Amino acid sequence: MPELNTSSLPDLVFAFLFFIMMVTSMREVTLKVVFKAPQATELQKLEKKSLITFVYIGQPVPELRTQMGSETRVQLNDQIAEISEIQDYIAQEKSSMKEEDQPFMTVSIKADYETKMGIVTDVKQALREAYALKISYSAKPRIN
């Protein structure tokens, strides 16, 4: 019986590696709002990715300006939404989680650093109403 030829095994693994690399970068949402994180120093890492829901706040990207105008908007998942839709969105996200994980759900607010607080306050109120009380203000480490 001839021995199994293993010389193509590395190629197989490399193909797998490329697949994983592509998939991990593909999972990111396409941003429809311009978002530049504010800077801070006292940051904490968010632990489990599956428990985090993201809410983006910022001005629409230049391609969408003709339809949307330049007013600050909220993005949930892949589309721009109204503040009134947040509650449904949170409820939906919550129900898709395992029941024992639901109390640990965290909402990461990714707002542009130039956003006015008015809309952030509105979002916070909507989150309160939806009982998504654990939030995190996303920021990046301060350089200098």
Tell me the closest approach of the beta carbon of residue 74 to another protein, in angstroms: 13
* 92 and 106 Cβ atoms separated by less than 8 Å: no
Cα gap 70→35, rounded to integer Å: 13
Are 104 and 115 within 8 A, CB to CB?
Answer: no
- Convert residues 40-69 into a mask of x (bound to another protein by CB under 8 A) and - (unbound): xxxxxxxx-x--x-x---------------
Give whichever of 94 and 134 is closer to another protein, judged by the CB atom: 134
What does the angle CA 13 – CA 16 – CA 18 come to, to the nearest 5 degrees?
115
By CB under 8 A, tell whether 94 contacts another protein. no
Residue 14: CB minimum distance to another protein, A: 6
For residue 115, count other CB atoms closer than 10 A to its CB. 19
Examine residue 83 and tell whether it contacts another protein (CB under 8 A): no
What is the three-class DSSP state of 49? helix
Binding flags for another protein, 124-143, as an x/- string (CB under 8 A): x--xxx-xxxxxxxxxxx--
User: Treating both helix axes as pointing N-terminal to C-terminal, what angle do 117-129 and 86-95 enclose, rounded to 10 degrees?
Assistant: 50
Nearest residue (CB) to another protein, 117 versus 143: 117
Residues at the interface with another protein (CB under 8 A): 6-7, 9-10, 13-14, 16-17, 20-21, 24-25, 38-47, 49, 52, 54, 106, 108-109, 111-118, 120-121, 124, 127-129, 131-141
